[in-house]
Structure 1
């Protein structure tokens, strides 16, 4: 290993575990499989939230979206931005003397908080980014590597691939009609032969779209191969921590924008120079752990931060082939996608159980625009003769997807598809109470304004209690319209810092 410790971070856009190294039959991903075989494949890696900008903000800041301020998408009318005091990965690595760069999709803001030295975005003004031409991306990365070598400095380079995101304005498209560098071979898939994930419905429209989706993934895979070749050709293969991941799940209904595993349990491949190869790591990893890992690798983990981070470096368990007791759970936080997709929810996941706390259960779950216009949704919504009580999204009833209760609890060992909600079953009451309590403690620790009682934020009313006011705030999730009174109702027990958490059971009704 040389004197510099470099980092190459590659982020796919809207890709699940659609890789042969994760057991998928198609698409073909030989280059990603090669990366997995030379390093570590994490089988239980979780983004905090299943939305592009939000997830990227977690990767770059080590903070959940309700901590860093990136509540929703960054572009257009959405215009969600991180808080001004937040330090990002490019800022921290600039301070550490690294040459920083990003090629392709950025999708976070504001720009001054993400000061990459080299920024080749090419998708401003609503145009499709040229990073779908993954050979061109590899060439630009090679030029970046050459600059780092000429300046004799370590580098932190992020590749924001556009693939396999849906095309920005082509219904059912995945960028497959565009022309590309001849080094990229167009690999097509027969819709009748594609492997559909268990969370979608087998309709002809889904088969056609997944064939195009897999075609885009194969193009991405070839680009990763060219990227790794460029890294080796420039002499950095033995000096670089290589990370490949996706920002959120595939762009289909019942995956992207949901906190079910289909939306948040994602591919994560990491290769560190000199590490043991071919590791399948089962530990529960959160994307808040990525920034601490990269800083740890670079030897800059002591840099001062304005906001405390709960994430940890994964390097001590990078080659662990069994579960470690210090990594027992992950949390997640989703509030918005597009500005009209307001449906706040939080989750806690262990190896056995998954708990969802839905903050607006009275509202139907909203559709992201690219999912709504998809041919797959068109086919699903008209399946089963158009009978809403019989339409399924995978194994989940469409009605249960659209209308979700305040709490969901799933036994993942028996129900990995998260379709049989145990929250109302007496046999699981103790599990529910414990999971609820652990989630709310996390909400307190991360100052989540969506820790609610009686439909109001405990964090928002905190200042009144701090100034000596007595507030009889009912210890219930929401305010029932037929019984809004707070007299004779069990009240929140306030703690010393002015916030209250109850471990008992209450009803949202």
Structure 2
């Protein structure tokens, strides 16, 4: 439980001379629970932040957070899909174990099991006032319950910050879950004509109290996994503009926090749910899809500008936040573990292994993948490998993809279109030497021992997390439920 401790001492009564007035010293030791802000962007990769090495994009407020806190360079979501990723952030459990296989909304209708106890519910029970604003995208509400639901345009982060100012002035310690719609692609997903760049939520007339930051397509940086085409550059320029809007809203939120007088007792997290909304990133388990920004400022630490290379995962966030808030929990309740103890280290040798687990995005996109990254090596198991790799509806319609598809181009970035559409069962990469993940080592004899070792670790992970897709190794029916065995 959150500990509120106040001790008052009356000490040092001067009595050497009874005629002298008494001297009283009051010493107060107060332990106040920290406030917590978890700021989650929508489809923001490490490619579009100044503090992560992009010299073009303007993100001064987030860069300032990095200079005053800790910037992780090996932080990963477990599934590059909005709803599935957010369920992991708030539960500390892999989606395959909670029923959170894919999207929540509309006909997709995936939902977390009722018995799961989320981060927000735990903090509320511990005496925090919990509030959320913006994108929710998890279900059911009883599992992911917040005391207050704030309303604002999720594309206008300045407006969101202004609406959130009340919770920052709460008399109780607060947990603010601040989730933007930026820089997710905007409607319409299928533009006319086809080569019109997606807006990424940008509007010609702009948004109230937001200064538009416009980028020239010729100036943007094209990641190597994407084709360097006119269409790609135009869409990245729109994406950058949306990210700069996030940054302004974050800056406004920090201004309100400073005005509340609680800056020195508020832990701030900035993360994204998955990588940029371009083919080759979002919905994939390649590095651009799951390797994400993670910036944390702990006001109790005097260390600033730390770059932490330890591998952490979104499944670790819930226990870490509870640990930093001094809220008791059973470590067996989570698949992840707290990284509070290594937060301000540059690298922790024991934090080199992470797992990812993707099953669906949209309900029509069944393509389960399980991943282990251990040291230099990454193994992807494409469980449904005989199927063509499925496209999210917005990524299929993207002019970036359509320019390749309509012109029957051979390559999409550094991969052939054929390799992108048809995956092998296993993909093994040395991510230190081959960060673009284009040299599959699976069939090279010298890597056979590494391949078998990673397969075994992946199976053990699936057993420990009760992954129903474990049966696909040998079609063992033990995890199929009682109906199969009757």
TM-score scaled by length of structure 2:
0.89
Cα displacement (A) at 1:197: 1.0
In 2 relative to 1, CA 140–363 (structure 1 residues): closer, same or farther, beyond 3 Å?
same
| Alpha-carbon distance in 2 for matches of 1:112, 1:334 | 24
Q: Does the Cα contact within 8 Å between 1:41 and 1:280 map onto a contact in 2? A: yes
1:310 aligns with 2:335: yes
Match of 2:376 in 1: 352
Cα displacement (A) at 1:228: 1.0
| Alpha-carbon distance in 2 for matches of 1:162, 1:16 | 14
What is the aligned counterpart of 2:124 among 94, 97, 110? 94
Q: Does the Cα contact within 8 Å between 2:380 and 2:427 map onto a contact in 1? A: yes
Q: Does the Cα contact within 8 Å between 1:331 and 1:346 map onto a contact in 2? A: yes
Match of 1:284 in 2: 311
| Alpha-carbon distance in 2 for matches of 1:237, 1:2 | 16
**1:348-382 per-position Cα deviation (integer Å, ceiling 9, x unaligned):** 01231110011111000000011011111111223
1:269 aligns with 2:295: yes
Cα displacement (A) at 1:121: 5.0
Count of residue correspondences? 448
Match of 1:82 in 2: 112
Bigger radius of gyration:
2
Match of 1:133 in 2: 156
| Alpha-carbon distance in 1 for matches of 2:150, 2:225 | 36
**1:111-163 per-position Cα deviation (integer Å, ceiling 9, x unaligned):** 111110111256xxxxxxx12111111111112212x1xxx211000101111
What is the aligned counterpart of 1:364 among 365, 388, 395? 388
Q: Secondary structure at the match of 2:359?
A: strand
Q: Does the Cα contact within 8 Å between 1:50 and 1:334 map onto a contact in 2? A: yes
Cα displacement (A) at 1:310: 2.6
| Alpha-carbon distance in 1 for matches of 2:462, 2:117 | 21
Cα displacement (A) at 1:167: 0.6
1:3 aligns with 2:52: no
| Alpha-carbon distance in 2 for matches of 1:111, 1:199 | 37
Q: Does the Cα contact within 8 Å between 1:105 and 1:121 map onto a contact in 2? A: no
In 2 relative to 1, CA 179–131 (structure 1 residues): closer, same or farther, beyond 3 Å?
farther
Q: Does the Cα contact within 8 Å between 1:448 and 1:459 map onto a contact in 2? A: no
| Alpha-carbon distance in 1 for matches of 2:480, 2:241 | 51
Q: Does the Cα contact within 8 Å between 1:10 and 1:243 map onto a contact in 2? A: yes
1:58 aligns with 2:82: no
1:42 aligns with 2:72: yes
Q: Within 5 Å, which residues of 2 pair with 1:377-416?
A: 377-383=401-407, 386-387=408-409, 390=410, 392-416=411-435
Match of 2:449 in 1: 430
| Alpha-carbon distance in 2 for matches of 1:132, 1:428 | 47
Match of 2:462 in 1: 443
Q: Does the Cα contact within 8 Å between 1:451 and 1:458 map onto a contact in 2? A: no
In 2 relative to 1, CA 179–67 (structure 1 residues): closer, same or farther, beyond 3 Å?
farther
Q: Secondary structure at the match of 2:310?
A: coil
Match of 1:503 in 2: none
| Alpha-carbon distance in 1 for matches of 2:435, 2:92 | 28
Match of 1:482 in 2: none
In 2 relative to 1, CA 89–179 (structure 1 residues): closer, same or farther, beyond 3 Å?
farther
Match of 1:491 in 2: none
Q: Within 5 Å, which residues of 2 pair with 1:139-150?
A: 139-146=162-169, 148=170
**1:313-340 per-position Cα deviation (integer Å, ceiling 9, x unaligned):** 1111111113x22212000100000000
| Alpha-carbon distance in 2 for matches of 1:378, 1:465 | 44
| Alpha-carbon distance in 2 for matches of 1:20, 1:285 | 21
Q: Does the Cα contact within 8 Å between 2:42 and 2:181 map onto a contact in 1? A: yes
| Alpha-carbon distance in 2 for matches of 1:217, 1:461 | 43
What is the aligned counterpart of 1:338 among 362, 366, 371? 362
**1:413-437 per-position Cα deviation (integer Å, ceiling 9, x unaligned):** 2211111111111111001000100
Cα displacement (A) at 1:286: 0.7
Structure 2, gaps ≥5 residues long: 1-29, 192-197
Q: Secondary structure at the match of 2:75?
A: strand
TM-score scaled by length of structure 1:
0.85
| Alpha-carbon distance in 2 for matches of 1:458, 1:440 | 15
Q: Does the Cα contact within 8 Å between 1:353 and 1:409 map onto a contact in 2? A: yes
Q: Does the Cα contact within 8 Å between 1:2 and 1:239 map onto a contact in 2? A: no
| Alpha-carbon distance in 2 for matches of 1:27, 1:397 | 29
In 2 relative to 1, CA 369–406 (structure 1 residues): closer, same or farther, beyond 3 Å?
same
| Alpha-carbon distance in 2 for matches of 1:182, 1:105 | 19
Cα displacement (A) at 1:168: 3.3
In 2 relative to 1, CA 68–316 (structure 1 residues): closer, same or farther, beyond 3 Å?
same
| Alpha-carbon distance in 1 for matches of 2:257, 2:185 | 28
